[in-house]
Amino acid sequence: MTFIDFEGRKLPVRDGDTVASVLQREGVTVLSRSFKYHRPRGLYCVSGDCPNCMVTVDGEPAVRSCITPAADGQRVARANGWPSVEHDVLSMTWFMRWALPVGFYYKLFTMPRWLWPFAQKIISRVAGIGPVDLTSKPEKLERRNHHPDLAVLGGGVAGLSAALSAARDGESVVLLDEGMIGEKVAPGPVRSAIDDLLQAVRAQSRVTIVERSPVTGVYEGPLVTAAAAKVLHMVHPGRIVVATGAAERHAVFPGSDLPGVWLGRGAARMAGVHGVRPGKQAVVVLGTEESLAHLETLRKAGVGIKLAVAPAALAARLPTDIPSLVDGQVVQANGRRHVKSVVVLTPTGDRRVVPCDTLVLSLGFTPRDGLLRQARQGTVNGAGQVVSPGCSVDEARASGTQAAQQRSSVPVEQSVANLPPVPEAGIVCICEDVSVGDLACAWREGYTSTEILKRYTTMTMGPCQGQMCHAHLRAFVRQQEPNVQWTSAATTARPPARGLTLAQASAGFDHHLELRTALHDRHLEAGARMGWAGAWHRAENYGDVLKEYWAVRRQVSLMDVGTLGKFRICGPDATEFLDRLYPMHVRTIREGRSRYTLMLNEAGYIFDDGMIALLAPNEFFVSTTSSGAESIEGWFRDWKETWKLKVHIVNQTAMLGAINIAGPHARELLSRVSTDPVDNAAIPYAGIARVTVRGISCLAIRVGFTGELSYELHHPASRSVELWNALMEAGADLGIAPHGLDALKVLRLEKGHVIISQDTDFDTTAGKIGLDWAIKMEKPFFIGRPSLDRLASIPPAKKLVPIRFAGDSAPDEGAQLMVGDERVGYLTSCRYSPLLKCGVSLGWVKLASGVLPAQVVAVSSNGKRRDVGDIATGPFYDPEGAKLRA
Amino acid sequence: MALRIDCPNCGSRPFTEFWFGGVLAGEPPTPESTIDPAAEFARVWYRSNVAGMQTERWFHFAGCRRWLTACRDTLTHAVHDVH
């Protein structure tokens, strides 16, 4: 025996039960409270359309219990009632409705202005359809792509026929259904037709049936998305057949939203599929062909029929043993928490009050055409009841077959012939509690078309997305302006057609690329705190930033710089290629030497920097920033293909590891482990040489970001760990310690080195950050040069400058810079320098008539901290670069 | 999501496999070309924001890693004539 946990009670579950059928069997009739007035709501459509049966299941709010299978141990609770949904004190808002007119949140609580924040808090507590569990962990879901010739939305008679027809023509088909195919349909001729067709479709290997996957949208492309519990299906079909059928026409009269009022198919489903009777004594309104079968189903389940109301044609076919009324009309349902009686208007104009506990309504059909109306591109056709509501099984079968064959879209006429009668009173939009009176009020206020009535009243914008009330909205406008066409047109349908969770909406998007260097595990062993730097995982620190910092400044230290972008560029046109690409001289780089270079886009703005080294004639080694490697490969290839030059571009980022040895003892350390000379003659500053370190062939480049003597060793990534261990071991007596990004950020600021994209913006030119020397305007051609010529006539309005702050701690990064009362800029980077005992920073400062101020005041974001800073002219540490060149 | 590009090297692929490389606006200069500053400025800076067909560059980073030129209808996202 299995049970669900319903608000602390254990309720037994039978085979084939939905959550709703379990609750109905146990006599739970109030399933939710309405959005605005907290009116009691119970099962109504039992087809997954209306909002009435929404409950919280296992912490997920707004789950439609009528289409959710019951499972053992499921936790089910009702939402939006206080103290409980059963006895909701807030339902008194119904009697306050004179004070809460349509659009009340635009009208009340807004004068005086300060009232609104309080009112908003109360309104958002009172309104709603259940709280979101803020402690829940986001789930990572997958996306699954399908590329069929035909996508069929809906597994009814028309949909199955369409799938079968296409499959027999040799096409691949994906058939999507909200639930399990056929499960919603009560036994009868329709159900047997579905069962037969399903068997035939299952025999076709070309048809993929995707069940329990509500289609949430039809997008351009076309693309169809369907949200299954754990997977987001993305269907990219050649053509689409929409066979979502029709829902029964929503009823609007006073009391029509009370628990105990059912739509015919829903009542028949509860009785016929689940074997649970909707009530004991029912008044049944028959208005469709199939309603006779529903009546029979209800009687078999033991529902007493107090009165059957039917038009003459159907009344003649009613069983003779039940009381009937020809051409009557139900005008009201009475009761506080459940139907107790209904008022029927006879053809002669008498009002008859019939005591009963259930009212079953089969008034007609409204096409479930939201998805059909969403489709704006490609070949999309409707089939079955969605285009001809109320059609027979044979007509649906033929329509499906025909739709599958269509090679172009047949436009659906938005006819007004099928609109329901105009409602006179009652709640017309059950999702958002909009009454007929509200509509009339909004009309008087000047909202005089379907589109703006929808926006103002929020009617059709609730969980049912207008399935219930959209036709009534059009009928209402039509009545007001019978001679104007456009005001009563169907509103624009947009995704999502069915609710989906944030996890489903973001399925597949949170699959991040994570890059690790070969030394990743080595860092973890050393106790590193790892952080993200773009897609890379890098060591931020090894526990003691200060120790790492002093190791670089006083002894020797290692840093894993394997994340740098590394390229080999060679071929007969390699020099020509790079000379066109870069703003510095490439032709004059000598073999065994390297140069720092900026990368400019065509607008002349800096987007990356790096180093370029000549290994042999027409053979270059080029490095880029860690984050830039991927996009710069694209950049290289773009220009190579544009200029049609003979160049090979090899991205070595992943195959090469790189370790930076930095500190006054760097040469001592390298000489201990290298078999090649590493003195100033062999590897001068900015020099590059092949050295063998403990049998590992390395490319040593004497560059560094820290301001100390340093060597970057580029080597096969497979030997990174070996090299790292050898260096750490050999440097033990030199006080070696690795350093992470935290220490590096202090070290580079002491040198005034800029990090492109942290300190710069998208429109930064070299002149603005003091790197004019890196742009060789004497070169006749390089990318960005024409733009720079033009920019030369515009003096820069601001500059990035080093700023020194006295004191024993540094101001916040991002602090605003002020001169007097004027805001002149902001800090892009700021750290406290242990060596210089002051704050070192870079910041943008506005020029006043071409001149920088001498002093600025940094104001923290909360305004409480103010630091006076002196604008410096050069690096704070080793301005002559003596240590670099040592 | 809906946009698909027929890569001549790899077949029909979703656009998420590509980087967008911008609108192809005229030929970029080479050292041999004489640069008309006004025309070059217009090429680099001015965007026509076409409602309809426009020629674009796409980089197939998750496939052949080649640049493609494609015509895309900005109204429908239909992509034609990829080469």
Q: Is residue A525 part of a domain?
A: no
In chain A, residues with a C-beta closer than 8 Å to the C-beta of B40 are: 786-787
- The shortest CB-CB distance from A780 to any of B31, B65, B77 is to B31
Contact criterion met (CB < 8 Å) for B44 and A633? no
CATH label of the domain that carries residue A451: 1.10.10
- Asked if pLDDT for residue A579 goes beyond 60, the answer is yes
How many structural domains is chain A composed of? 7
Q: Does A121 touch chain B (CB under 8 A)?
A: no
Is residue A17, in this structure, part of any structural domain at all?
A: yes
Calculate how close chain B gets to A806, using CA atoms only, in Å: 44
My answer on whether A646 and A670 are in the same domain is: no
| Amino acid symbol at A653 | T
Helices (H), A3-103: 19-25
* Beta bridge partner(s), residue A64: A54
Rg of chain B in Å (alpha carbons): 14
Q: Is residue A528 part of a domain?
A: no
A107 domain residue, yes or no? yes
Residues 217-236 of A with CB under 8 A from B: 219-223, 234, 236
- Torsion of Cα atoms, A175 then A180 then A184 then A185, to 10°: 70
Q: Is residue A27 part of a domain?
A: yes
Query: Regarding predicted confidence, which is higher, B26 or A563?
Result: A563
Lowest mean pLDDT among A508-512, A672-676, A737-741: A508-512
Q: Which residues contact A885 (CB under 8 A, 6 or more apart)?
A: A684, A685
* Pair A460, A577 in one domain: no
Among partner residues B4, B59, B76, which is closest to A634 by beta-carbon distance? B59
Asked if A798 reaches chain B (Cβ–Cβ under 8 Å), the answer is no
Residue B39 or A104, more confident: B39
Q: CATH number of the domain that A296 lies in?
A: 3.50.50.60
- What is the residue-wise DSSP string for A402-416? HHHH-SS--PPP--S
Q: Is A580 on the interface with B (CB under 8 A)?
A: yes
Average pLDDT over residues A110-132: 77
> A706: which 2 tokens?
């820290």
Q: Flag if A787 and B28 touch (Cβ within 8 Å).
A: no
Proportion of chain B above pLDDT 70, given as a percent: 98
Structure token pair of residue A351:
């009002």
Chain A CB contacts of B34 under 8 Å are: none
CB < 8 Å to B69, chain A: none
CA distance A811 to A840: 9
- Return the pLDDT at B1: 42
Would residue A314 be called left, alpha or beta, if left means φ above 0 and alpha means ψ between -120 and 50 degrees? alpha
Question: Is residue A9 domain-shared with residue A107, that is, in the same domain?
Answer: yes
Q: Running DSSP on this structure, what letter comes out for residue A94?
A: G
Which residues form the domain of A353?
A: 250-361
Identify which of B19, B37, B57 has the shortest CB distance to residue A790.
B37
**DSSP class per residue in A160-188:** HHHHHHHHHTT--EEEE-SSSTTTTSPSS
- d(Cα A38, Cα A80) in Å, to the nearest integer? 8
Give residues with Cβ within 8 angstroms of A760, minimum separation 6: A606, A754, A769, A800
| Residue A781 contacts B, CB cutoff 8 Å | yes
A641 CB neighbours in chain B (<8 A) are: 66-67
C-beta of residue A48 within 8 angstroms of C-beta of residue A64: yes
State chain A's mean pLDDT as an integer. Answer: 92
**CA A671 – CA A666 distance, rounded (Å):** 9
Please give the pLDDT value at position A132: 78
Q: Do A787 and B35 touch (CB under 8 A)?
A: no
What does the pLDDT average to over A532-561?
94
Residue A654, chain B, CB below 8 Å: the answer is no
Segments forming the whole domain that contains residue B45 = 4-25+32-80
Hey, is the C-beta of A199 within 8 angstroms of any chain B C-beta? no
C-alpha to C-alpha distance for A427 and A436, rounded to whole angstroms: 6
| Surface of B (37-56) touching A: CB under 8 A | 37, 40-41, 44-45
- State the total domains in chain B: 1
Cα A677 from chain centre? 56
> Could you tell me the sign of the dihedral formed by the alpha carbons of A645, A651, A657, A663, in that order?
positive
- Do the chains contact at B2 and A789, CB–CB below 8 Å? no
| Digit-coded pLDDT (tens) for A393-427 | 999 999 999 999 999 888 776 666 778 998 889 99
Q: Is A509 inside any structural domain?
A: no
What tokens does A289 get?
A: 């062909």
**B65 in contact with chain A, both atoms CB, cutoff 8 A:** yes
pLDDT in tens, A335-353: 999 999 999 999 999 999 9
pTM of the model: 0.74
- Cβ distance of B57 and A236 shorter than 8 Å: no
Contacts of B57 in chain A (CB under 8 A): 638
Q: Which of A325, A318, A326, A327 is nearest to A299 (CA)?
A: A318
Q: Which residues contact B20 (CB under 8 A, 6 or more apart)?
A: B56, B57, B58
Please report whether residue A454 resides in a domain.
yes
**CATH of residue A607:** 3.30.70.1400
Give the C-alpha distances (Å, rounded to integers) separating A807 from A804, A811, A814, A820, A836: 10, 10, 18, 20, 11
Which chain B residues are Cβ-neighbours of A219 within 8 angstroms? 1-2
* Minimum distance, in Å, between the CA of residue A175 and any CA atom of chain B: 19
Nearest Cα to Cα of residue A571 among A652, A655, A644:
A644
Which residues have CB under 8 Å from A112's CB, separation 6+? none
d(CA A15, CA A394): 31
Asked whether residue A643 falls in the same domain as residue A708, the answer is: no
**Distance (Å) from the alpha carbon of A21 to chain B's nearest alpha carbon:** 38
CB A825, CB A843: distance < 8 Å: yes
Torsion over CA of A555, A560, A565 and A567, rounded to 10 degrees? 80
> Is there a contact between A3 and A49 (Cβ–Cβ < 8 Å)?
no
| Chain A residues touching residue B21 (CB < 8 angstroms) | 634, 638
Q: Using one digit for the tens of pLDDT, what is the confidence trace for A174-226?
A: 999 999 999 888 788 899 999 999 999 999 999 999 999 999 999 887 899 99
Say which CATH number the domain at B59 has: 3.30.2270.10
Do the Cβ atoms of B28 and A223 come within 8 Å? no
> What contacts A14, CB < 8 A, 6 or more positions away?
A22, A25, A274, A275
Q: Which of B29, B65, B78 sits opposite A637 (nearest CB)?
A: B65
The minimal CB distance from B2 to the residues A223, A638, A781 is found for A223
Using CA atoms, how far apart are residues A698 and A60, in angstroms rounded to an integer? Answer: 57
CA A193 to CA A599: how far, in whole Å? 68
Whether the link from the prior residue into A254 is cis, omega within 30° of 0, is no
A259 and A233 within one domain: no
Averaged pLDDT for residues A792-801: 90
Three-state secondary structure string covering A333-355: EECCCCCCEEEEECCCCCEEEEE
Of B12, B31, B35, the CB nearest to A786: B35
Looking at residue A839, its pLDDT comes to 94
Q: How far is CA A7 from CA A70, A73, A77, A567, in A?
A: 15, 12, 5, 63
- ipTM of predicted assembly, 2 dp: 0.94
Contact A487, A477 (CB under 8 A): yes
pLDDT of residue A510: 63
A126 in a structural domain? no
Q: Token match 């950049």: residue?
A: A635
Contact A234 B35 (CB under 8 A): no
User: What per-residue confidence (pLDDT) applies to A452?
Assistant: 95
Say how many CB pairs under 8 Å bridge A and B: 64
- Percent of chain A predicted with pLDDT > 70: 99
pLDDT at site A449? 94
- The beta-carbon neighbor of B1 closest among A219, A630, A789 is A219
**CA-to-CA separations, A578 to A217, A510, A586, A788, in angstroms, rounded:** 48, 37, 7, 19
Under DSSP, the state recorded for A750 is H
Q: Give tens-digit pLDDT for A17-73.
A: 999 999 999 999 999 999 888 999 999 999 999 999 999 998 888 899 999 999 999
Same domain, A682 and A599: no
